[in-house]
Structure 1
Amino acid sequence: MDKVVNCFSRNPDAVVRLICFPWAGGGSIHYARWGKVLTSSIEVYAVRLPGREGRAKEPFFQSMQQVLDEVTDALLPQLKEKPFALFGHSFGAMTSFAFAEYVKRIHKLEPVHVFLSGASAPYSEMRLQAPKRSHLSDHDFLQWMSSIGGTPPELIANPEVMKLFLPALKADLHVVENYRCSKPEVPFLSCPVTCFDGKEDLPHDLEAWKHMTSGEFTVHMLPGSHFYLKEAANEKVILDHITKHLETAEMDYL
């Protein structure tokens, strides 16, 4: 499990685990540090995909099913052990959805809460009509990255850094661009689903996410563009919201 999951703060007494999926090209450290910020009742598992950090020499995944197989195999005992919740931003929102659907369908396990950020639902028309980015030239790709914000300009202007970073980003975008699923005919979850997004980001079809659950569905818009969640004030709002809802998760779970 340690290869697939980064956990800064092991806490066997936690009442719930928060499993966080990275954005495209992202690593695990941003979320892993949440384990030192959130209350002791929440243990954070930050997913680490191949091709980055300590797994830099491993080949990138080519499909969503590869992501699901590896993460499920690594975490299945923990999923059965105590309540779990999911968080994902952008590409991570897509993998969170796919993971929730997969573990419910195959293993009859359901999260106590799903937190999604910065993405349209995978079956929404807005997402299906979105332009593909993974096959852009490096020059055009970097221009697009500059337009969405979140990556320091000095890094984008550094060819050596981009040479290391771009392959992981393009690989993850290839996975999500080729991921297809139908709109659920009936909700497959009953837990609450919370969506966050940046007010200045490109529009996302957030309302379409409500079709995945029969439980409570809420949307929270925060100031900022695509990587609004990196801003300290916004991160505090998100973490306070997660804490508020997960500290009572054990009672709902039981």
Structure 2
Amino acid sequence: MGNWISTWPGGPEDTALPALLCLPPAGAGCQQFRAWQPALAGIAQVYGVQLPGRENRWREPMPDTFAEAVEAIADAVARTVGPGRRLVVFGHSFGGLLGYELARRVTPRALVVSACRAPWYWDGAGRGIVDDDGELDKLFDTAGLDPAFLDEDTRALMVEMLRKDAQLSLSYVHEPGARFDVPVHAWGADGDETVTSGELDDWATVTTAGFHRHRTAGGHHAVLRRPEPVLAHLAGLLRGDDALLSRTS
């Protein structure tokens, strides 16, 4: 299997810096986080998680199960990020679910989830995407993409990636276990029609280390389209600003 972790230029790679690990939403690769490295230059080394079946891993097969994917990511993090570094995990939508299960294994400084339901809402959540083209069109609309204006090859590629991730999500079963000792910061957008406020608030029940709720304007992908607020927040966590752990917005 290829490399699950990507890095980008934006200053020399410095393993003494804290690490920010970014997990993209379903149907997407991690190159969208490339611009975050220069934005956080001198503050953190940005790492992107790259699942198979997209971008530079297009020809590689997906893991058979969600759990296998998480274990592969955890192994790659151990090798690439290394022990003893301050680590913050950020995941958007489906990436937030991956980030949560990863955080249960690697214990980061903080878990930041964006536009992501609490874990138990994900059981069987990808079934409509796998079976129903109408559900796929809704996802394109959520992303601000009109399928009518996508060329056939581009739409087919995006559909294939979405279906791969949806199929992977169908193997996910939430196993509650003990609450973990990692602060959770949940970002939601006021105009998100995919994830409700209550589904975000329920992240409070997974942690004993504090839950912090943050809001922004826009739709489901607002945080990725206008990342400045979340980048400022992540920078504080990466610097070790403990005041952030008692602040909500």
TM-score, normalised by the number of residues in structure 2: 0.85
Partner of 1:245, secondary structure, is helix
| Aligned-residue offset at 1:69 | 2.3
Kept after mapping to 1: 8 A contact 2:126/2:169: no
Contact 1:94 1:176 in 2 (8 A): no
Task: Number of aligned residue pairs: give it.
Answer: 236
Greater CA drift, 90-99 or 154-163: 154-163
TM-aligned CA deviation for residue 6 of structure 1: 1.4
1:159 lines up with 2:152 in the alignment: yes
Over aligned residues, Cα RMSD in angstroms?
Answer: 2.4
Trace 1:29-178 onto structure 2 (pairs within 5 A): 29-77=31-79, 78-101=81-104, 103=105, 109-124=106-121, 127-128=122-123, 132-138=127-133, 140-148=134-142, 150-153=143-146, 157-178=150-171
Q: Secondary structure at the match of 1:134?
A: helix
Q: Could you tell me which runs of 5 or more consecutive residues in structure 2 were left unpaired when the two chains were aligned.
A: 243-249
Aligned to 1:227: 221
Contact 1:21–1:87 (CA under 8 A) maintained in structure 2: yes
Residues 7-51 of structure 1 show CA distances to partners (whole Å, capped at 9, x for unaligned) of 113522543101111110110111132111114121110011101
Kept in 1: contact 2:137–2:147 (CA 8 A): no
47 and 117 in structure 1: CA distance in 2 versus 1, 3 angstrom threshold: same
Residue identity opposite 1:110 in structure 2: T
Identity in percent: 23
Match of 1:206, SS state, is helix
Equivalent residue number for residue 200 of structure 2: 206
Q: 1:180 aligns with which of 173, 189, 196?
A: 173
1:81 CA displacement: 4.0
- Look up the match of 2:233: 241
Distance 1:51 1:220 in 2: 32
For residue 7 of structure 1, what is the amino acid of its counterpart?
A: T
Q: Decide whether aligned partners of structure 1 residues 130 and 82 sit closer, same or farther in structure 2, where only a CA change above 3 A counts.
A: closer
User: What is the CA distance between 1:216 and its match in structure 2?
Assistant: 2.2
Residues 51 and 2 of structure 1: CA distance in aligned 2, closer, same or farther (over 3 Å): closer
Alignment check: 8 A CA contact 1:155 1:162 kept? no
Change (3 A) 1:131 1:65: closer
